[in-house]
Amino acid sequence: MSEPLSLYVHVPFCSSRCGYCDFNTYTASELGDGVDRASFHTHLASEIAMAARTLAPSYQVDTVFFGGGTPTLIGASALCDLLARIRDEFDVAANVEVTTEANPDSVDPQMLEELVTGGFTRISIGMQSVAPHVLATLERTHTPGASSTVAIAARAAGFDHVNLDLIYGTPTESNDDVHRSLDEVLDAGVDHVSAYSLIVEDGTALARRVARGEIAEPDDDVAAERYELIDDRLSHSGLRWYEVSNWSTPGSECRHNLAYWRNRDWWGVGPGAHSHQAGRRWWNVKHPRTYAARVSAGMSPAEGHEETTPEQQRLERLMMGLRVREGVLANEVECPQSAVLDLVERGLVEVEPAHEPAARIVLTRRGRLLADAVARELAVISDAPSGLDAPTAKQANPT
C-alpha cells in the first residue's frame, strides 16, 4: 500500500513586491545575477527527481500545488512541463488535485486553457479586495474587477475549482468595501474562498510604514467584526467554513491544504520550501541562486531540519487540527474532560457528537477567532499531569 503524498512547488518570482508580503519571492531586480527566471524550472525539475528517488516507491502523489511568488510568471508550458515531470517520476493518483496560484494580471484565457490541458484542476487567484484604495495600501498592481474576470474565464477554460483570495482588516478598508468585495466574489460564482486578516509582518514595507505612522496598525476588533461579516455572507451563499480562513461549497475543499492540516506527508520543492515526513521537518535554502547552485551540483537543497518530539507533534496536531471543521478527536488531545467542558461552557468549542467515543472537538465561530488561545489551553492543561501535579500525587500516596 502506498501512502498519499502532497507535492508543493515553490516559484520564487514576482513582477513587483506587495507591501505586506514577507514570502520568499524575488522581483527581477531583487534577484540579481546568476539566476535565470526562464530556465529556473529545470532546477525545480531536478529536485522533483531527487524527491522521487527518496520517496517514490512507497508513495502516491494525490495533490500538487504550485505556489509562490507568482507561479504563472514562468509561463504555462514550464508549469505543465513540471507537472509532466512529476507524472514521470511518481505514481500519481487518477483524481490528483493540481493547483496553481495566479495573479489576475499574470494570466490570460489562452494560458488558462493550456494549464487545463496540461492537467491543472484548480486555480487560486489573489484578489484581496475590490476597493482601489485598499489595493493601493496593499501595493497590489492589478485593477479592481480583474480577479473576477479571470475567475470566470478559469471556469470557462475548464478548471474544476476556482478560489479567490481576500485580505480583510486593511486599515484603509471599510465594512462597505468588504461587502463590495464579497458581492464580486459571489457574482463570479467561485466554489472556494480564502479570507485572511491583514498581518503586519516584520521586515515588510508595510511594517515600516506602520512604524512611521503613515498607516494605522490593523485593529483586531475590526478584523473580528469583518471575519464574522465574511462568514455570514459566504455561509448564506452556500460556501461553508472548513478551515479558519477557508470556505467552499461541499466537495470543493482544497485537498492539498487539508493534507497540511491533517499532518500528512508532503515534499516542498523549490527555494525556502518546507517538507514534512513522519514527524521530521526540513526546509530548503531560501535564495534561488544558492538553491540553483546546490541542485545543479546534485546536492540536497535542504538547509535545516528538525525532528519533532511526541510533545511537539501533539501540539502541532492540536493547533492544526483545531483549525479545520472536522476538529480533533477528543480522546486524542489527552486533556481532562473538565477542560473541554469549560471551553464548551465558554462557547469556544462544541463536542460532536457529544458523549461518543469518536467525539470530536470543533471550534465554534467565536472559538475560530480564538483558535490559538484554545490550542494553548488544551496543550497547557494536558501538560499538567507530567508537570507539577505528579510529584505531589506520589508523595500523597507512598504505597
Partner 1 sequence: MTHSSTAGAPASGRSAPGDTDPGVIRNFCIIAHIDHGKSTLADRMLQITGVVDDRSMRAQYLDRMDIERERGITIKSQAVRLPFAAADGREHVLNLIDTPGHVDFTYEVSRSLAACEGAVLLVDAAQGIEAQTLANLYLALENDLQVIPVLNKIDLPAAQPEKYAAELAHIIGCHPDDVHKVSAKTGEGVEDLMQTIVDVIPAPMGDADAPARAMIFDSVYDTYRGVVTYVRVVDGRIGTRDRISMMSTGTVHELLEVGVISPEPSPASGLGVGEVGYLITGVKDVRQSRVGDTITTVTKGATEPLGGYRDPKPMVFSGLYPIDGSDYPILRDALDRLKLNDAALQYEPETSVALGFGFRCGFLGLLHLEIVRERLEREFDLDLISTAPNVIYTVQMEDGNEIVVTNPSEFPEGKVALVTEPVVKATVILPSEFVGTVMELCQNRRGSLLGMDYLSEDRVEMRYMLPMAEIVFDFFDQLKSRTRGYASLDYEPSGEQTADLVKVDILLHGDPVDAFSAIVHKDKAYTYGVAMAQKLRELIPRQQFEVPIQAAIGSRIIARETIRAIRKDVLAKCYGGDVSRKRKLLEKQKEGKKRMKMVGRVEVPQEAFIAALSTSEAPAKK
Residues that bind partner 1 (CB under 8 A): 8, 196-199, 220-221, 223-225, 227, 244-245, 257, 260-261, 266, 268, 272-276, 281, 283, 306, 308, 312, 315-316, 319-320, 323, 346, 348, 368-373, 375-376, 379-380, 383
Nearer to partner 1, 118 or 314 (CB): 314
Q: Considering the complex, state which of residue 191 and residue 265 has its C-beta at the smaller distance from partner 1.
A: 265
Only one residue has cell 507535492, namely: 7
Residue 22 CB, shortest distance to partner 1, in Å, is 11
- Which has the closest alpha carbon to 131: 143, 115, 122, 120? 143
- Rounded least distance, CB 360 to partner 1, Å: 19
Whole-angstrom distance, CA of residue 203 vs CA of residue 210: 11
C-alpha to C-alpha distance for 392 and 88, rounded to whole angstroms: 60
Toward partner 1, which CB reaches closer, 144 or 271?
A: 271
Q: Give Cα separations from 86 to 119, 139, 194, 209, 290 (angstroms).
A: 11, 35, 27, 42, 23
**Shortest distance, position 167 Cβ to partner 1, whole Å:** 9
Query: Shortest gap between Cβ of 28 and partner 1 (angstroms)?
Result: 23
Torsion of CA 39, 46, 62, 3, to 10 degrees: -170
What is the CA angle 314-317-320, rounded to 5? 145
Question: What does the alpha-carbon distance between residue 339 and residue 200 come to, in Å, rounded to a whole number?
Answer: 33
For the bound state, the minimum distance from the C-beta of residue 354 to partner 1, rounded and expressed in Å, comes to 22
Q: How far is the CB of 67 from partner 1 (least distance, A)?
A: 8
CB neighbours of 12 closer than 8 A, spacing ≥ 6? Answer: 24, 25, 26, 68, 69, 270, 271, 272, 288
Nearer to partner 1, 155 or 368 (CB): 368
Contact 115, 76 (CB under 8 A): yes
Asked whether the CA dihedral 201, 177, 139, 193 is positive or negative, the reply is positive
Helix (H) or strand (E) holding 194: strand 192-197
| Residue 38 vs 388, nearer CB to partner 1 | 388
Give the C-alpha separation, 17 to 12, whole Å: 11
Residue 308 beta carbon to partner 1: minimum distance, rounded to whole angstroms: 8
CA-wise closest residue to 107 among 59, 61, 50, 66:
66
- Write down the least CB distance from residue 334 to partner 1, Å: 15
DSSP H or E run through 255: helix 255-261
Q: Which is nearer to partner 1, 247 or 261 (CB)?
A: 261
Min dist. Cβ of residue 278 to partner 1 (A): 14
* CB burial readout 82-121, b (16+ within 10 A) else e: bbebbeebbebeeebbbbbbbbbbbbeeebbbbbbebbbb
Return the C-alpha torsion angle 173, 177, 179, 183, nearest 10.
-140
* Helix intervals (H) in 24-145: 28-31, 40-55, 76-89, 109-117, 132-138
User: What minimum distance in Å lies between the beta carbon of 199 and partner 1?
Assistant: 6
Nearest to partner 1 of 26, 227 (CB atom): 227
| CB nearer to partner 1: pick between 158 and 347 | 347
Residue 57 or 347: which CB sits closer to partner 1? 347
Residue closer to partner 1 (CB basis): 113 or 383: 383
DSSP character at residue 140: -
